[in-house]
Structure 1
Amino acid sequence: MMRNRVVAAMRAHLSAHDFVEVETAALQVSPGNETHLHAFSTQIVAPDGSLAPLHLHTSPEFACKKLLAAGETRLFTLARVFRNGERSALHHPEFTMLEWYRAEAGYTVLMEDCAALLAEAAHAAGTRHLEFRGRRSDPFAPFERLTLAEAFSRYADIDLLATMDRDGATDRAAMAEAVAGAGLRVAPDDTWSDLFGRVLVATIEPHLGIGRPTVLHAYPASEAALARRSPDDPRVAERFELYACGVELANGFGELTDPAEQRRRFEGEMAEKARLYGRTYPIDEDFLAALALMPEASGIALGLDRLVMLLAGAPRIEDVVWTPVAMGVP
């Protein structure tokens, strides 16, 4: 019942601020082109009996950006999304994503949206705090804002920007030395990205969103495949994540609208996916064509199930999902 009240409150808030609710198809030519996201895949049968591959989307992002290119200026969707191989206290193979987009708006406006929506959700839930495994966060408090460079320095004593060139190229050797110095494991086949993620998960995330929500922003450009670079520092991108109780709740971007650059990034991601997992997903050519027409915009995805879980103080995401996905028969 709390989940229903939260959904109704978020819908009402966005609609009151002139956002149009849209519904996007779950079946897509490409489920997304990020290295570590794995899709559920199927085949569509044409009237002549021929088969073609399709995938359940890992996010409605591509479809929403096509709608921005078609002329929508403020839109949101409550989409069921699907990610294979993900199941834990914080992950479920099918979950609900609240995504919203603003044309002609900077990505810092999304941080203000998040503050308003968290307060609305808490009012609807009838609670004054978010909670997970003994950690609490005040959804009504002003957000802490912390850059990745500040977080690495504060919690791991690592100079993150020193492991990147001025153009954003990463220095694996410098990162490995810094990570080893911080007392974390370094494997011979670890990439710069592997090491970055290890520090983030092990030493930074547990400190985020404690007492009040944290906006972690200015991500390294190499860790923001769909975000544009910062005009102030090409080493970082206009990407942020929202945390509460040490749990990531949302991921926002100043959207990349250069189709050639986006293709280059997707190809790099898929090359790494092929190296690690032996498979790739196609690139959505319609999406790249739409980017050429899309206005400057910002967009964000918020995990609805995680937010409700924290509002309810539940220990697992499945506690706030009406019908959890069965594990299947061995």
Structure 2
Amino acid sequence: MPPWHPESLAARLPFLRRRARLAAETRAFLAARGYTEVETPALVPVPGMEVHLRAFRSAFRPHLGAGRPATLWLRTSPELALKRLLVGGAGRVFELARVWRNGELSPRHAPEFTMLEWYAPGLGLDGLMDETEALLRSVCPTVVAHAGVTTDLGQAFERLTMAEAFRRHCNGLDILATVDAASAEGGAAALHEAARAAGLALPPGLGWEDAFFHLVLTHVEPAIGRGRATFLTHWPAPQAALARRDPADPRAALRFELFVAGLEIANAFDELTDPAEQRLRFTRDVEARKQEAGEEGWEVDEDFLAALAHGMPAGSGIALGFDRLAMLASGAQAIGQVLWLPIAIPAD
């Protein structure tokens, strides 16, 4: 049945009504903590800088008033726009943003979905974890479950560094020893050798990043965020993205992801404010994207770097998959159950 069919909608309606309440509760929680809800553009010149995300391309064709033809994209995240507002002095802000990621379709993914992002000048990563934990306790049942995995949100959330996660779940492998602190790059040969020494199988020929994620997906993620929620913190520096490196150990980045009931639901940074370092990372990202055959891309976001050079306040920010949060709050087992009208994708 099509998703608009009365029987189809009736089956989803309990989940959808819970989603509506969840949105109201989330807004109330953040407003009570001094956040202002904002709206930023969905159609942008640069959709995001993550190398492995695919965007939907569009175009501006002037026919009324000023302007010239330009390639535009549907955003993969509101992050770069929200940080511009921090530069402008907006203070604590949040957005329930529609975002688009091409090619993502599964029981946990949709090519169009809702991202909850909030940013707090002056708040460190520990404070952001406290706030995120409080939000989930405020808007979700005490016990949540997905795909047979149950998490008790009444228990204190685990805070586990990536280095400790590898030691614990990858037979003692020292992941940070495979990272060059000076360049913030990972050594593929070093990681393959460390995996062999730990008795872990890696497919041959993988670069550092692919080998790292193979180990995370195979050994780390299945072991965390189950009985209790887990913040997986202090990611290796090659995975810093827009996060600051840890002053105490530059091989690590001040980043966390949150896992609940086996679901990864949030990604957060202690925000990088150095425009020179950010330019280097963006440039590497652009080159990496160009090397992926058949993928059209975009250049460095110069306007964002100009804003960063103007001066962004230190602080932290988080992107939380709102649809996945709605799944946990409502008990839905597939993302389509919490979407009012799931996008129509042609069948195989």
Coarse TM-score class (shorter-chain normalised): over 0.9
1:141 pairs, out of 151, 155, 160, with 155
Q: Which residue of 2 aligns with 1:262?
A: 278
Q: Which residue of 2 aligns with 1:281?
A: 298
8 Å CA contact 1:34–1:270 kept in 2: the answer is no
2:95 paired with 1:95? no
Q: Which residue of 2 aligns with 1:38?
A: 54
2:217 paired with 1:215? no
Q: Which residue of 2 aligns with 1:162?
A: 177
Q: Which residue of 2 aligns with 1:225?
A: 241
Larger Rg: 2
User: Could you tell me which amino acid in structure 2 is paired with residue 183 of structure 1?
Assistant: L
Q: Which residue of 1 aligns with 2:267?
A: 251
State the Cα distance separating 1:50 from its structure 2 match. 4.3
Supply the distance in 2 between the matched residues of 1:12 and 1:256 (Cα, whole angstroms): 28
Supply the distance in 2 between the matched residues of 1:305 and 1:319 (Cα, whole angstroms): 9
Supply the distance in 1 between the matched residues of 2:338 and 2:278 (Cα, whole angstroms): 36
Supply the distance in 2 between the matched residues of 1:31 and 1:187 (Cα, whole angstroms): 33
1:71 pairs, out of 64, 83, 89, with 89
1:117 pairs, out of 129, 135, 145, with 135
Supply the distance in 2 between the matched residues of 1:160 and 1:53 (Cα, whole angstroms): 40
Supply the distance in 1 between the matched residues of 2:68 and 2:316 (Cα, whole angstroms): 39
Q: Which residue of 2 aligns with 1:308?
A: 326
Supply the distance in 2 between the matched residues of 1:277 and 1:78 (Cα, whole angstroms): 33
Q: Quick one: structure 1 residues 329 and 135, their matched pair in 2 at CA, closer, same or farther if it must change by over 3 Å? A: closer
8 Å CA contact 2:273–2:314 kept in 1: the answer is yes
State the Cα distance separating 1:96 from its structure 2 match. 0.6
Supply the distance in 2 between the matched residues of 1:246 and 1:329 (Cα, whole angstroms): 28
8 Å CA contact 1:131–1:312 kept in 2: the answer is no
Across the aligned residues of Structure 1 and Structure 2, the Cα RMSD in angstroms comes to: 1.5
State the Cα distance separating 1:165 from its structure 2 match. 2.8
Q: Which runs of 5+ in 2 are unaligned?
A: 1-16
1:206 pairs, out of 222, 243, 246, with 222
Supply the distance in 2 between the matched residues of 1:62 and 1:265 (Cα, whole angstroms): 14
Secondary structure at the aligned position of 1:72 is classed as coil
Q: In percent, how many aligned pairs have the same letter? A: 47
Supply the distance in 2 between the matched residues of 1:202 and 1:312 (Cα, whole angstroms): 28
Supply the distance in 2 between the matched residues of 1:56 and 1:229 (Cα, whole angstroms): 29
What stretches of structure 1 move > 4 A for 4+ residues in a row? none
TM-score (norm 2): 0.90
Q: Which residue of 1 aligns with 2:146?
A: 132
Secondary structure at the aligned position of 1:291 is classed as helix
Q: Which runs of 5+ in 1 are unaligned?
A: none
Q: Which residue of 1 aligns with 2:22?
A: 6
Q: Which residue of 2 aligns with 1:184?
A: 201
8 Å CA contact 2:242–2:272 kept in 1: the answer is yes
8 Å CA contact 1:28–1:55 kept in 2: the answer is yes
8 Å CA contact 2:123–2:316 kept in 1: the answer is yes
Supply the distance in 2 between the matched residues of 1:49 and 1:100 (Cα, whole angstroms): 32
State the Cα distance separating 1:79 from its structure 2 match. 0.2
2:33 paired with 1:17? yes
Supply the distance in 2 between the matched residues of 1:182 and 1:87 (Cα, whole angstroms): 34
